Amino acid sequence: MSSPFPPLPQGDAPVIHVQTAQGQQPPVTAARLRELLATGALPRDTALWFQGLAGWIRAADHPELRAATPGGAADDQMDAVFSELVKESWAYYREHELAGHIDEVLVGALITTALDSGHSLIDLNSDGTNHYLRFENIQGDQSRVVFQLRHLTPGLTAARVLGQRVSVVIGYGERMPDFGKVWQALKAEFKSGFVQNPEPGTITVDGDMNSGYVYVQVDLYLDIKHYVGEGYAINYPRLNRDVGATINALRKYLKGRFGR
């Protein structure tokens, strides 16, 4: 990196003007200036000017004089060490903050994605571990989309080893005019043990007696870094694609199974 200051004048002519707390001093040569600084006869904050400088500068700020000032090189090295410590601390702080809040950022991104697809948020809550979201297509067929998210690696150590992982249950639901009949069939499946704890990608069916909705849902394990990057930047194209593909598969399953 080039110096912002011109080189010191060469030769035997005393053309470097010097000013200390005691006032203006006689001009000196570059060699004499180095000698005065090295012996401590002039302090580091001595002001100097020569032809080519835009204004007065501190002697210690000129790269050709820095090493000549007592403690100059060592001081610069210590400043560099301190600067690196601050830089590393900020990097850790940002990484720690990201590990602790990235799931909340993903929740916000999912809300934006659902709203952009024509859905309205009708329920949002969290129990400290799981986030629950429910949306309804109020301008169309009143179908519903639900999400349940659980951050699997909230700590920095786990996130570094396993990556930023989240367990997500995505559901798609429609109101059934013959809900009673469907619900009886679902209860029979529950009783028979047909419905087990699902493995990733397995589609299960559930019903809400209060609303008359039947839901099909799937458990997935996602890498949050696919959707949330540095500085909490959201990869909306990929999030929209993945959520859209999942809901499309669930919708087809529901319609195929219940003849909708």
Mean pLDDT computed over 200-225: 88
Amino acid present at 214: V
Residue 260 has pLDDT above 70, yes or no: no
Task: Tally helices (H) and strands (E) across the chain.
Answer: 6, 10
pLDDT of residue 234: 95
The phi and psi torsions of 34 (rounded to 5 degrees) equal: -60, -45
Q: What is the pLDDT of residues 146-190, one digit of tens each?
A: 999 999 988 888 888 888 899 999 999 998 888 777 777 666 655
> Are the C-beta atoms of residues 47 and 58 closer than 8 Å to each other?
yes
Q: With bands split at pLDDT 50, 70 and 90, how would you rate the model's confidence at 192?
A: very low
Q: With bands split at pLDDT 50, 70 and 90, how would you rate the model's confidence at 194?
A: very low
Helix (H, G, I), strand (E, B) or coil at 94: helix
- Residue 39 CA to residue 44 CA, distance in Å, equals 11
pLDDT of residue 237: 96
Helix (H, G, I), strand (E, B) or coil at 21: coil
pLDDT of residue 53: 94
Mean pLDDT computed over 79-97: 80
pLDDT of residue 113: 94
Residue 94 has pLDDT above 90, yes or no: no
- Residue with the bigger pLDDT between 103 and 67: it is 103
The phi and psi torsions of 13 (rounded to 5 degrees) equal: -80, 130
- Residue 143 CA to residue 72 CA, distance in Å, equals 71
Report for 39-43, 148-152, 197-201: range of highest mean pLDDT: 148-152
pTM, rounded to two decimals: 0.63
Vertex 64, ends 60 and 35: CA angle to 5°?
Answer: 75
pLDDT of residue 64: 86
Mean pLDDT computed over 134-153: 91
Tokens 């030769």 locate to 11
pLDDT of residue 30: 92
Per the prediction, the chain carries an average pLDDT of: 85
Residue 208 has pLDDT above 50, yes or no: yes
pLDDT of residue 193: 45
Q: 34-38, 129-133, 208-212: which range is least confident on average? A: 208-212
Strand partners for 149: 131, 168
pLDDT of residue 198: 62
Share of the chain above pLDDT 70, in %: 88
Show the domains of the chain with their CATH numbers.
16-70 (no CATH), 99-258 (3.30.1460)
Mean pLDDT computed over 219-224: 94
Give me 85's structure tokens: 């410590």
User: Measured between alpha carbons, how far is residue 24 from residues 18, 48, 211 in Å?
Assistant: 6, 10, 89
